[in-house]
Amino acid sequence: MTSQPPPETRAPSGAEEMTLSVGPPAHGGHCVARPAQDPAGRVVFVRHALPGETVRARMTERSAKIWRADAVEVLQASPDRVASVWPQAGPGGVGGGELAHVALPAQRTWKRWVLADCLRRIGGQEVHAAVAGLPEAAGSGSIAVEPMPSEADGAAHAQERRRAPGTATRTRVSLSVGPDGRAGMHAFRSGTVLPLDRLPLAVPAIQGIGLLERSRWRKHYRPGARIEAIAPSAGEPLVLIDGQVLTASARSTGRRRVEEVVEADALGLGPLRYSVHAEGFWQVHHQAPEVLVERVVRAALGARPGPDPSGPAPDLAEAGSGRRVLELYSGSGLLTLPLAMLVGSSGLVLSQEASGRAVGDARRNLHGWSRAHLATGRVTPRSVGRAATAFEGRGPDVVVLDPPRQGAGREVCRAIAALAPERIVLVACDPAALSRDLAVLLGSGYRLAAMSALDMFPHTHHFETISVLERG
């Protein structure tokens, strides 16, 4: 199969091109490739290709340390290549859809390879051996990347089956207005705004706003403006343009908050309601809050799984009663609320978050739950160490942390281990940072008890992991 990019994404006249044999994927959405005529030649990190392919590639970056390229023509295609669900994210296009040309099951295999490579290469032999020894890695030595419920085989509703798999999942979309007044996104590793004609990864509520229709939004769009579209699980979407809040019909509104409802029936809690500032952080995939709440809270409280691990856990309240939980990087209280509900009157949840706005949201969401104490401040080794005092000198039973992309870091992980909690639940959105943090925790006397990986970002190279560590 030969795949040609749109004319505007072709290599410019005179640009250096080469024929590459494509090898395994690398962290960041690239594949490791070498010149087809020189298998031992210089490594080139190529995008928009697949392992096993032969491609004609255009160089996009060449330095003494690294060479990068975009595949602009496929000379020998992988069987996992499909028609892109978002051609405008292809060669020379916008960032944010770098795996749109890969069949969805193959995307998860791609991410599994990347996770295994990072855990071995960055985490080191101790991390690699710990993961390989888990029951969930049996037979392969690596952790499978699971689809979200809406992408699982046979799970999609009839309407969802009519869409390309993995599309229409994002409840938050960021755009910019280009010099021509049209909405678009930045080209990959560039400040240039490329206009878009569709938003296939956005949920239908955002697609229906018509943000790419200049006629509807003309009076609000100015070159350089930043657009944020939010489609909450409850209520109408909002659009923020450089701080101005608009309704889906492009009318100004004083509404600056959205309501999110997270079903927690599997935890025996029913629907959880959250009030979040329109500019605040919330998980992007429409099912991510529900899945994270169930997975992380179960792991934190250590409830015994029943015959159906995905069903209600009748012993969860018993398992949580009296538990002392330290939650770091706690955001708007997504996990804080169910944890506070389950530790009971004799337990305590202490959360810490750097963003004052997020902590303000969490205070609204935790109103009435006196056993949750919310602290504002950057997570540092010193702030972690002070947690022992907050728990009446005994320290926490459990630490839950969901750090930003760069991870918690060596010193924070050491400070957590010094508290000697029975269990640590680490949520990570970057496999390299995960590998570094795991190496520190394993080297501090903890053992890896469980790990799962979730494909919360279809058609991109990103995914989420949840690791459970117990004191050795």
> DSSP assignment of 210-274, as one string?
-TT-HHHHTTT--TT-EEEEE--SBS--EEEETTEEEETTS-B----EEEEEEEEGGGT-EEEEE
Cα 323 to Cα 459: distance, rounded to the nearest angstrom? 39
Cα 140–142–147 angle (5° rounding)? 105
- Buried b vs exposed e over 144-183: b needs ≥16 C-beta within 10 Å? bbbbbebbeeeeeeeeeeeebbbbbbbbbbebbbbeeebb
Q: Which positions ≥6 away from 39 have C-beta within 8 Å?
A: 21
Q: Which segments are annotated as binding site?
A: 283, 329, 353, 402
Of residues 44, 40, 64, 65, the one with CA closest to residue 56: 44
251, with CB counted inside 10 A (0-12, 13-18, 19+), is exposed
Cα 88–433–400 angle (5° rounding)? 110
Q: Is 429 a catalytic residue?
A: yes
Contact 25, 107 (CB under 8 A): no
Contact 107, 456 (CB under 8 A): no
Q: Which segments are annotated as binding site for S-adenosyl-L-methionine?
A: 283, 329, 353, 402
Catalytic sites, residue numbers? 429
